[in-house]
Amino acid sequence: MTFVPGAAALFILGMVAIGLLRALRGPRDADRLLSVQLLGTGAIAALLLYGVPSGDASAIDVALTLALLAAFASIAFVKAAGGYDDEPS
Amino acid sequence: MIDALNAGIALLLLALGAYAVMAKDVFAALVGYIAYGLLLTLAWMQLRGPDVALTEAAIGGGLTGAMLIAAATRLRDRDAAARAPMPGIGARVLAATLSAVVASAVAWSVASLPEPAATLAPQTLAAMPALEVGNPVTAVLLGFRALDTLLEAIVVVLALIGVWSLAPDKAWGGRLGRLQHAQPDGMLAYAARILAPIGIVIGMYIFWIGADLPGGKFQGATLLAAMWLLVWMAGLTDAPAVDRRWLRAMLVAGPLAFVAIGVFGAVQAGAFLAYPAGLAKPLIIVIEIALMPTLTLVLALVLVGPPLREPER
Amino acid sequence: MDAVVDFMSIVAIVAGAAFFAAGTIGLLRFPDTMTRLHALTKADNLGVGLVILGLLPRAGSITAGIKLLLVWLLVLFAGAIVSQLVGRVASREPPR
Amino acid sequence: MTALPLWFALVPAALIGVGLYGIVVHPQPLRKLVSFNVVGSGAFLLFGAVARRGAAVPLNGDPVPQALLITGIVVAFCASALAVMLILQLHDRSGDTSLEPAGEA
C-alpha cells in the first residue's frame, strides 16, 4: 500500500520541477518567485507522501517547518522591492 | 521507486546548483539557489538524517532565501559589479578545467572509501544510556562532541559581533538595522500576527522533542528567529539598540553557562565538559535552555544587520 | 471498511497530484503574473489539501493527524499571504 | 543497508566542481557567495552520504557526522550572513560592489 503514495511523490516532484522552467524564463522576478513557491508546496507534499506511509514521524515535523517558512522568501522579496510601503489601506 | 526518487532528487540538485552558479540574471540565480535549498531538505530525508533535514528546512528553506533576496533587491540595477565583464574565454576554460579536476578528485576519493564503512554509531549507542537522551544526534552534540557545540556557539556570537562592527561611528549605540515601514493593519502585519504565535509554539515543540526525537535547539532557535524577523519586517516591533545590557547579557549567557558547566565537570568528574554520573540529563537540559536565547538572538540579528540609526537621546 | 478507506485515500492522493499537474501547466502556460498566481494557489490549497486528506488515515496517531492538518492550514495561509503580497507588487508594474 | 547511495556521492562532487567554477569566474561578490555556498552544501552532502554509509542497526546513519553537519550548516549560515552584510556595506559606501581597485573597475 505504499506504491501509490510513492508514485504520487515522484509525480508531484517531477511536475514542480517542470514548473521551475518558469524560473528560467521569468520574465519578472515575481514569476520566478512563484515557481519556487510551487516547488516548496510540492516538496511538502512529496515529503509527506513518502514519510507518512513508511511511519517516519519526523517527516511531519520537517513538513511543518517548511510550511511555516513557506511564505518567508516571498515576504522578504515584497519588503525589499518596496511593494509594501505605499500600500493603499 | 526509492532509486528513482533518489536519482531524481540528486539530478535536480545538480541542475539547480548549476543554475544558481551559471544563470545570467542575479535574481534568477538566487531563486535557483532557494529551490536548491528546498531540495536539499528532501535529500537529507533520503539520506536518513532527519535532524539535518530539519536544520536545512529552517535555515535553507527560510532564512537564507530571505537574506539573499533582500540583499539582491537592494543591490539591483545600481550595482556596477553585476555588469562587469566575465573573464575571457581562455580564463573560463582554465577555471572549468581546474574545477573538473577538483570534482574528479573528490569523486575518486569517495569511490575509494574503505569497506566496510567506518562508523561510530555502535559506540554512540553504547554510551547513550549514560546520557539519558534518546536522540543519538543530541547525544553527540551535547555528549561526546560537546566541545564542538560550545565552540560553535561562540563562533556564531563572533559572527554577530563582526556584523555589528560594520556600524558607522555615529550610529554606534543606536538601534539595529533600518526602520521598517509598515502599516499596523496591513497584510504583512496580519500575517505576522497569525503566523508568529503558531511558529513560536512549533519552534518550542521542535526544541523540546530534541532530547529524544529529531529536533533540538538549533532548529527550534531558527524557527523562533524567523518568527521574530517576521514580526520585525511587519513593523510590529523594532530592533533593540546595540548597547542594551539585556541584549548583551542574553548573547553571552548561553556560551557562559556552557563553559561554567564544563568547568563544573572538570572539578567534579575530572575532565572539561564531563558530566558527573547521574547529572548528565539535567546538565544537558540546562545547556540547551541556556543556548536557546543566544542562538535565537544571533540568528535573527545577523539578518537585521549593524546599527544604522543614530542613538536616541 | 478498510478497503473503502484505502480506496478513498488513493483517490484523494491521485486527485491531489492532478492539481499539482494543473498548477504546473498553469504556471507555464498562463500569459501573465496574475493568472499564474491563480494557477499556483490551486496547487497550494487543493493539491496539498487532498494529499493530506489522503494521508490522514495512514497517519497512525491522533497527534500525527493534527500535525498533518496544521501543515495544510499553514500552507493555505502562506499561499493566501504570498498571493496578496506578490500580486500587489505585480500590479504596480506594467504587465510584460 | 550500508551501501553508499551512488547518486548522493557523485552529484556532490560535481556540485563542488560547479561551485568552484562560479567562485573563480563571477566578478560580482554576491554571485561568488552563492557559488561558495554551493561548494559548501556539496561538501555537506558528501559528508551526509558518508554518514548514511556508516549506518548500523538500529540507526539509519552515523550520528557523529550528522551532528557535525548541523553545527556546520548553522555556522555556514552565520558566515554567509556576515558576508552579505559586508557586501551591502561595500555597496552603501562605494556605490557598487566591484572588487576591482578604484579607477580600474
Lowest mean pLDDT among B203-207, B264-268, C78-82, D97-101: D97-101
Residues of D with CB below 8 A from B295's CB? 74
Pick the more confident residue, B178 or C50: C50
Tell which phi-psi region holds residue D95, choosing left (phi > 0), alpha (psi between -120 and 50) or beta: left
In this predicted structure, what is the pLDDT of residue D43? 92
User: How many interchain CB pairs under 8 A, A with C?
Assistant: 149
Torsion of CA B187, B190, B192, B196, to 10 degrees: -150
pLDDT (mean) for B135-142: 83
Q: Is B70 part of the contact surface with chain C (CB cutoff 8 Å)? A: no
User: How many interchain CB pairs under 8 A, B with C?
Assistant: 12
Distances B94 to B83, B100, D82 between C-alpha atoms, Å: 22, 10, 30
User: Hey, what amino acid is at C69?
Assistant: L
In this predicted structure, what is the pLDDT of residue D41? 92
**Is the predicted pLDDT of residue B224 greater than 90, yes or no?**
yes
For B:88-127, CB contacts with A below 8 A are none
Domain ranges of chain B: 1-76, 122-313
Domain ranges of chain D: 7-94
Contact predicate B265/B271, CB 8 Å: yes
For B:195-234, CB contacts with C below 8 A are 195, 198
From A16, A67, A74, residue closest to C71, measured CB to CB: A67
**Residue A54 falls within a domain, yes or no?**
yes
Lowest mean pLDDT among B3-17, B217-231, C32-46, C80-94: C80-94
pLDDT digits (tens, 9 = 90+) for C1-44: 688 888 888 899 899 999 999 888 888 888 888 888 888 888 88
**Is the predicted pLDDT of residue A88 greater than 70, yes or no?**
no
Q: How far does the CA of residue D4 sit from the closest CA of chain B (Å)?
A: 9
| Percent share of chain C, pLDDT over 70 | 95
In this predicted structure, what is the pLDDT of residue A87? 45
pLDDT (mean) for D12-28: 90
Q: CA–CA separation, D92 vs B162, rounded Å?
A: 17
Q: CA–CA separation, B270 vs B276, rounded Å?
A: 9
Cβ distance of B195 and A68 shorter than 8 Å = yes
Cβ distance of C81 and B198 shorter than 8 Å = no
pLDDT (mean) for B167-175: 83
Specify the CATH number for D7-94; select among 3.10.180.10, 3.40.190.10, 1.10.287.3510, 3.90.1150.10.
1.10.287.3510
**Helix H or strand E segment including B109:** helix B89-111
- For chain A, the domain total comes to 1
In this predicted structure, what is the pLDDT of residue B158? 93
pLDDT digits (tens, 9 = 90+) for D29-79: 888 999 999 999 999 998 888 888 777 767 777 888 888 899 999 999 999
Q: Looking at the whole model, is its pTM more than 0.95?
A: no
Round the average pLDDT of chain C to a whole number and report it: 86
Tell which phi-psi region holds residue B88, choosing left (phi > 0), alpha (psi between -120 and 50) or beta: beta
Pick the more confident residue, B120 or A43: A43
Q: CA–CA separation, A35 vs B26, rounded Å?
A: 16
**Is the predicted pLDDT of residue C93 greater than 70, yes or no?**
no
Lowest mean pLDDT among A3-7, A58-62, B216-220, D65-69: A3-7
Residues of A with CB below 8 A from C6's CB? 1
Residues of A with CB below 8 A from B219's CB? 65
pLDDT digits (tens, 9 = 90+) for B148-163: 888 989 999 999 999 9
Cβ distance of A70 and C90 shorter than 8 Å = no
The ipTM of this complex is 0.90
**Residue A47 falls within a domain, yes or no?**
yes
pLDDT (mean) for A47-61: 86
From B187, B194, B195, residue closest to C85, measured CB to CB: B187
In terms of residue numbers, what domain contains A9? 3-80
Lowest mean pLDDT among B76-80, B146-150, C44-48, C82-86: B76-80
